[in-house]
């Protein structure tokens, strides 16, 4: 038993001492940064241009869209700005009869016409080209223009 433990301890000690020498990075032929150790300056991309490869743009979040909300309805209506009423976070509001309002949305946001119990009646999505959302005289739909 002691012989086995001794052999195991020797094997562990021997493997712990085995060190692989580090290899130095060799830049590929034609690398413009070869003289700098193969790495670009800290403030540039691998293409040497702070903007990245030609034609690349920085990733952008959803576009902010300014939308006019126009009501042709003869009464005040309830709306919800968010994913799905009444189950998600969002904003409940009202739109007065025959009124015009302006709101800022992100492309992809939803606008809902809801009843007095916050249940959906109609909805429309806001796209990057949406400029107006209308509540027509029927008061039971939304029309995006």
Sign of the CA dihedral with 61 first, then 65, 66, and 68 last: negative
pLDDT in tens, 101-137: 999 999 999 999 999 999 999 999 999 999 999 999 9
pLDDT exceeds cutoff 50 at 44: no
Task: Count, in order, helices (H) and strands (E) of the chain.
Answer: 1, 8
Tally Cβ neighbours within 10 Å of residue 90: 19
The span from the CA of 112 to the CA of 97, in Å, is: 16
The span from the CA of 17 to the CA of 133, in Å, is: 72
Model pTM score: 0.58
**Encoding tokens for residue 96?**
């007065």
Every domain of the chain and the residues it spans? 64-144
* CATH architecture of the domain with range 64-144: Sandwich (2.60)
């Amino acid at each position: 038993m002691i012989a086995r433990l001794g052999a195991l301890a020797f094997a562990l000690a021997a493997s712990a001492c085995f060190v692989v020498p580090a290899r130095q990075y060799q830049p590929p032929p034609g690398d413009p940064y070869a003289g700098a150790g193969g790495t670009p300056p800290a403030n540039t991309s691998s293409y040497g241009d702070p903007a990245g490869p030609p034609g690349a743009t920085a990733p952008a979040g959803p576009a902010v869209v300014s939308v006019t909300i126009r009501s042709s309805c003869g009464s005040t209506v309830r709306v919800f700005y968010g994913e799905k009423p009444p189950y998600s976070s969002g904003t409940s509001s009202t739109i007065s009869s025959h009124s015009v309002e302006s709101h800022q949305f992100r492309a992809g946001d939803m606008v809902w016409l809801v009843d007095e119990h916050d249940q959906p009646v109609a909805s429309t999505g806001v796209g990057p080209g949406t400029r107006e959302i209308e509540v027509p005289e029927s008061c039971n739909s939304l029309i995006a223009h």
